[in-house]
Amino acid sequence: MIKLRTRGRDGHELVLIGLSTKNVGKLLGGEPIAIEPAEAQSLGLGECSLVIFAGESELAMMRELEDVGLLPEGTAAKAKDELEKHGRASGGNGAS
């Protein structure tokens, strides 16, 4: 993975995160990638953790984050209700 803060050709600051094929495989296999606060701060992102994740649908991603302990229990259920209100509840992982 590449994590870099630099300036682009036009002089604007850029924070770049490049994922290798191996990283993408981990993401699609349900393994979020976390960049811890010290490293995020070195990229100019302040004191935060940066989490990169992917999934079949919005709801599947919310469930994944809940399953690995990054979101409180019940968050995915609330998200499902909200997505259904907007006609976007494609659950992934066997849900609808």
Interval 14-73: pLDDT, tens: 999 999 999 999 998 888 999 999 999 999 898 898 999 998 888 888 888 898 888 899
6 & 48 share domain: yes
- 65 and 50, same structural domain? no
Total domain count for the chain? 2
Structural contact between residues 17 and 5, judged by C-beta atoms closer than 8 angstroms: no
Q: Are residues 39 and 68 in the same domain?
A: no
Non-local (6+) Cβ contacts of 76 within 8 A are: 59, 62, 63, 66
Looking at residue 62, its pLDDT comes to 87
Domain that holds residue 44: 1-54
* Candidate from 32-36, 76-80, 90-94 with smallest mean pLDDT: 90-94
Q: Is the pLDDT of residue 96 over 80?
A: no
* 4 and 50 part of one domain: yes
Claim to verify: residue 64 and residue 17 sit in the same structural domain: no
Please indicate whether residue 52 or residue 91 has the higher confidence score (pLDDT): 52
46 and 72, same domain (yes or no): no
